[in-house]
């Protein structure tokens, strides 16, 4: 059994819409995890029988490739002698632009433009607008829109995102990503670098196989170009995948596919292309500790509270 712990941003600065994990909480997590489990890389144990050892192993993973990973998280990993895996979105790294979910949050939070024509036929009435007059209303709208956008097809999502980018043209998105030198430094320190696609697309919502292949292959090729190896691992953005995703990932040369479903990875029942991960958030320590021991999800399913 392997507990795969997933982190994103680790930062002392707070964010109203998508709060990074606080640095002190991150340190507490790593201290606790490294004391309780043997911390390994999934890339080192995925193919060995060691992964079957009961309740002993943990991995530390980061999705997206934020600069704060090397700034704040890496020194703490070093302090506790832990190696981690970092799954990067290659277009975000190449252009120093955060993922579309982050840009979406940021746009609604920072634009001063009130006119926006979101009148697409496919949008439910509650999302059809042509003007959102105040900052407060834009933030509220953005936080309702994001979960909806995660459920629709890739094509429809693209139309909405393009329209938002065109309308909120007063936004300059913040430069928050690592560059390839940062990534090389992590790799040289013994951490693993894998793929998180080219554009952070939701693979399980895409139907065009050429487009899926582009996301899977071009991100891997870019990593190969920069680091000299074809990555073993694809981490599916927003945990979105289906049978086509798994098949194409395998065909194109990946060996491991990472999901996000808040469970301990049990090699006896999960295949290598849907490995479970437990995401940790910026929450009070007691909640985080329960997530680490995986008790919070069990309690939730028992009392059906969500």
Backbone angles phi, psi at 211, to 5 degrees: -70, -40
CB-nearer residue toward Zn ion: 64 or 91: 64
CA atoms within 13 A on the CB side of 246: 12
Tell me which residues in 144-173 interact with Zn ion (CB under 5 A). Answer: none
Q: Shortest distance, CB of residue 239 to Zn ion, whole angstroms?
A: 9
Query: Is residue 105 part of the contact set for Zn ion (CB under 5 A)?
Result: no
Question: How many chain residues are in contact with Zn ion, going by CB under 5 A?
Answer: 3
Strand 129-131, strand 115-118: pairing: antiparallel
Q: Which of 63, 105, 182, 274 binds Zn ion (CB under 5 A)?
A: 63
When CB distances to Zn ion are compared, the closest residue is 63
CB-nearer residue toward Zn ion: 98 or 129: 98
Q: Shortest distance, CB of residue 225 to Zn ion, whole angstroms?
A: 21
Strand 192-195, strand 85-88: pairing: parallel
CB-nearer residue toward Zn ion: 4 or 167: 4
Backbone angles phi, psi at 94, to 5 degrees: -60, -35
Distance CA 218, CA 113 (A): 35
Query: Is residue 98 part of the contact set for Zn ion (CB under 5 A)?
Result: no
CB-nearer residue toward Zn ion: 194 or 237: 237
Q: DSSP class of residue 193?
A: E
Query: Is residue 215 part of the contact set for Zn ion (CB under 5 A)?
Result: no
SS3 content of the chain, % helix, strand, coil (to 5): 45, 15, 40
CB-nearer residue toward Zn ion: 63 or 182: 63
Query: Is residue 91 part of the contact set for Zn ion (CB under 5 A)?
Result: no
Q: Shortest distance, CB of residue 120 to Zn ion, whole angstroms?
A: 25
- 194 and 86 in contact (C-beta within 8 Å)? yes
Q: Shortest distance, CB of residue 101 to Zn ion, whole angstroms?
A: 8
Q: Shortest distance, CB of residue 75 to Zn ion, whole angstroms?
A: 23
Q: DSSP class of residue 69?
A: I
Task: Please report which helix (H) or strand (E) contains residue 90, including its range.
Answer: helix 90-95
Q: Shortest distance, CB of residue 218 to Zn ion, whole angstroms?
A: 17
Token pair belonging to 30: 């790593």
- 162 and 199 in contact (C-beta within 8 Å)? no
Tell me which residues in 230-289 interact with Zn ion (CB under 5 A). Answer: 237
Q: Shortest distance, CB of residue 55 to Zn ion, whole angstroms?
A: 27
Q: Which of 27, 43, 64, 274 binds Zn ion (CB under 5 A)?
A: 64
* Closest listed residue to residue 132, CA positions, set 158, 109, 160, 102: 109
Over the window 22 to 61, marking each residue x when it contacts Zn ion by CB under 5 A and - when it does not, the resulting string is ----------------------------------------
CB-nearer residue toward Zn ion: 76 or 177: 177
Q: Shortest distance, CB of residue 196 to Zn ion, whole angstroms?
A: 6
Say whether 192 sits in a helix, a strand or coil.
strand
- 301 and 295 in contact (C-beta within 8 Å)? no
Task: Please report which helix (H) or strand (E) contains residue 85, including its range.
Answer: strand 85-88
CB-nearer residue toward Zn ion: 27 or 63: 63
What residue ranges bind Zn ion (CB under 5 A)? 63-64, 237
């Amino acid at each position: 059994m392997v507990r795969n712990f997933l982190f994103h941003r680790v930062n002392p600065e707070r964010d109203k819409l998508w709060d990074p994990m606080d640095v002190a909480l991150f340190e507490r997590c790593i201290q606790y995890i490294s004391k309780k489990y043997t911390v390994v890389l999934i890339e080192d144990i995925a193919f060995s029988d060691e992964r079957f050892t009961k309740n002993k192993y943990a991995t530390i993973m980061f999705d997206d490739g934020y600069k704060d990973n090397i700034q704040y998280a890496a020194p703490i990993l070093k302090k506790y002698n832990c190696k981690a895996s970092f799954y990067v979105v290659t277009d975000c790294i190449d252009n120093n632009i955060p993922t579309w979910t982050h840009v979406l949050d940021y746009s609604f939070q920072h634009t001063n433009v009130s006119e926006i024509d979101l009148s697409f036929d496919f949008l439910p009435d509650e999302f059809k607008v042509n003007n959102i007059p105040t900052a407060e209303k834009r933030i509220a709208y953005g936080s309702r829109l994001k979960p909806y956008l995660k459920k629709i097809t890739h094509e429809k999502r693209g139309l909405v995102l393009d329209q938002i980018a065109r309308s909120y043209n007063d936004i300059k998105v913040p430069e928050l990503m690592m560059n390839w030198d940062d990534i090389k430094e992590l790799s040289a320190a013994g951490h693993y670098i894998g793929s998180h696609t080219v554009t952070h697309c939701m693979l399980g919502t895409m139907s065009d196989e050429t487009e899926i292949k582009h996301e899977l292959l071009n991100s891997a090729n870019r990593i190969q170009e920069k680091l000299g190896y074809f990555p073993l691992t694809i981490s599916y953005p927003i945990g979105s995948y289906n049978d086509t995703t798994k098949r194409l990932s395998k065909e194109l040369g990946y060996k491991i596919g990472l999901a996000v479903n808040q469970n301990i990875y049990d090699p006896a029942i999960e295949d290598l292309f849907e490995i479970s991960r437990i995401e940790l958030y910026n929450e009070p320590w007691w909640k985080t500790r329960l997530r680490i021991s995986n008790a919070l999800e069990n309690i939730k399913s028992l009392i059906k509270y969500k």
